Amino acid sequence: MSASRRARASDAARSGSWGDTDVSRDAAARLLGTFLRDLRTQRGLSLAVVAPEIRGSVSKLSRVERGESPPKEQDVWELARYYGASAADEEEIHALLRQVRQNSRGKQFSDVTPQFLRRLIELEKSAFRIKTYENHVVPGLLQTPEYAAAVIEQALPEADDLMIRRLVQARKDRWSLFDAPQRPEVVAILDEGVLRRAVGGAQVMLGQLRSLRKRADEATEHTSIRIIPFDQGISSAVSFPLTHLTFKDNGPSEMVYLELLDSANYVTETNRLAQYRSVMDRLEQTALYRRESIALLDRMIGKFEQRLSASGE
């Protein structure tokens, strides 16, 4: 695919400028197929050689390259890996897949993102308010790309570089909530240990803390970051992450998301919601207010700056 043609494909995919949904999805599938075919032919590979890589026949791969039907994302990324796609190629593929899947972030990462997390991503898009408490890591909505990659590497030690980049991209799509016209209010309550735990090393952590500091300093009605300091005592916090979502549409007005090791619970029952709402209220009452939270962030930024300076990094 020529540079100009690839640029047009990328721009169209990112902007959704192909018109109505059906037309843009079909156009994206065709452009994606052409892109994959060009990657294959540039490497001098035949359909017969490549088809087994996606556990399919020559006709199946041919249909994918002709864009006759929306491809399975797992197949697309296995082909990208087999072809040795560059980072720029991956960006093109990601943009086209987004349009193929009608810009549905949940479906977009269906083969590497657990179903329970895909559901949360969809819920976040329609939420009016998101309150989240974390005692171990920075919430996904507030992670920097470098911090996110470090978290993923620790959680999925078997993941290769391509999978890690895709999962980071999934988080980037979640971060687009902050630029949405009807962006939700986000209240993030963090245990002090989250600020002290050097995820990814001192340099990565310093970048993450500075990012949190910028968010906290914006002081808009949309984002609030509050810290529960160690001196509040263990009884003030809870031992598990907690997310409370509030909605204004015709569905349930609120929901609590509890993520476990390999699953998650969505709480909607009135009595249990009241219990978790009480927990979240207590966390908010315990957490430092904005000014004190920023002061604590500044102190932690200073500590990591000193650590890096002492190490000569």
Q: Which of 42, 76, 103 is the last residue of a domain?
A: 103
> What's the pLDDT at 211?
94
> What's the pLDDT at 92?
83
> What's the pLDDT at 217?
80
Please check whether residue 298 lies inside any domain of the structure: yes
pTM of the model: 0.70
**C-alpha dist (Å) from residue 95 to 26, 54, 88, 307:** 14, 21, 11, 39
pLDDT digits (tens, 9 = 90+) for 81-92: 999 999 888 888
Quick one: 68 and 156 in the same domain?
no
Quick one: 72 and 168 in the same domain?
no
Quick one: 96 and 127 in the same domain?
no
> What's the pLDDT at 11?
45
Query: Which is more confident, 45 or 19?
Result: 45
Quick one: 221 and 263 in the same domain?
yes
Percent of residues in the chain assigned helix, strand, coil, to nearest 5: 60, 10, 25
Q: Which of 83, 103, 123 is the last residue of a domain?
A: 103
Cα Rg of the chain, angstroms: 22
Domain that holds residue 93: 3-103
- 207: its two tokens: 């970048």
Token pair 């994206």: residue:
28
| 3-class secondary structure, 238 | coil
pLDDT digits (tens, 9 = 90+) for 130-171: 999 999 999 988 999 999 999 989 888 888 888 888 888 878
- 224: its two tokens: 């609030």
Quick one: 230 and 305 in the same domain?
yes
**Close Cβ partners of 292 (under 8 Å, ≥ 6 residues apart):** 227
Q: How confident is the model at residue 283 (pLDDT cuts 50, 70, 90)?
A: very high
Whether 43 and 120 have beta carbons less than 8 Å apart is answered as: no
Please check whether residue 211 lies inside any domain of the structure: yes
Total domain count, the chain: 2
| 3-class secondary structure, 46 | coil
Quick one: 273 and 125 in the same domain?
yes
- State the average pLDDT for the chain: 81
Quick one: 59 and 155 in the same domain?
no
Quick one: 151 and 215 in the same domain?
yes
Q: Which of 106, 134, 120 is nearest to 245 (CA)?
A: 120
**Close Cβ partners of 23 (under 8 Å, ≥ 6 residues apart):** none
